[in-house]
């Protein structure tokens, strides 16, 4: 499996709009091949940022998702709302509730 966690900093006053687009992406990814988790989170101490946590069957599945027309469309409309990208971590999911038990590698 392949995991990715990243912080997205919204333009001032645009966090909720950005979250809306990220939730649209989550809906699109419900049908994406190999997507196990696409989670949008906020931190109360940072009202301008959003964290996105993704778990995929493979890094290749993640890359392929970025070529889907619906995903590219959401990225295009959300991009102007983004002030910057913060921390980014790639990780290897080991297992746990919500992940396929037979997929951990």
pLDDT at 10: 97
pLDDT at 73: 94
Given CATH 3.30.70.100, say whether it is the number of domain 2-91. Answer: yes
CA atoms within 13 A of residue 24's CA, in its CB half-sphere: 15
Determine phi and psi for 3, rounding to 5 degrees: -125, 150
Look up residue 79 and give its DSSP letter. G
pLDDT at 2 over 80: yes
What ranges do the domains of the chain cover?
2-91
Is residue 75 within 8 Å of residue 47, measured between CB atoms?
no
pLDDT tens readout for residues 14-67: 999 999 999 999 999 999 999 999 999 998 899 999 999 999 999 999 999 999
């Amino acid at each position: 499996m392949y995991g990715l966690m990243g912080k997205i900093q919204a333009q001032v006053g645009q966090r909720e709009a950005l979250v809306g687009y990220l939730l649209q992406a989550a809906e699109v990814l419900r049908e994406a091949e190999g997507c196990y988790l696409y989670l949008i989170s906020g931190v109360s101490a940072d009202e301008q940022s959003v964290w996105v946590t993704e778990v995929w069957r493979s890094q290749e599945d993640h890359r392929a998702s970025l070529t889907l027309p619906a995903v590219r469309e959401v990225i295009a409309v959300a991009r102007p709302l983004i002030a910057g990208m913060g921390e980014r971590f790639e990780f290897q999911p080991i297992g746990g509730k919500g992940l396929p038990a037979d997929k951990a590698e």
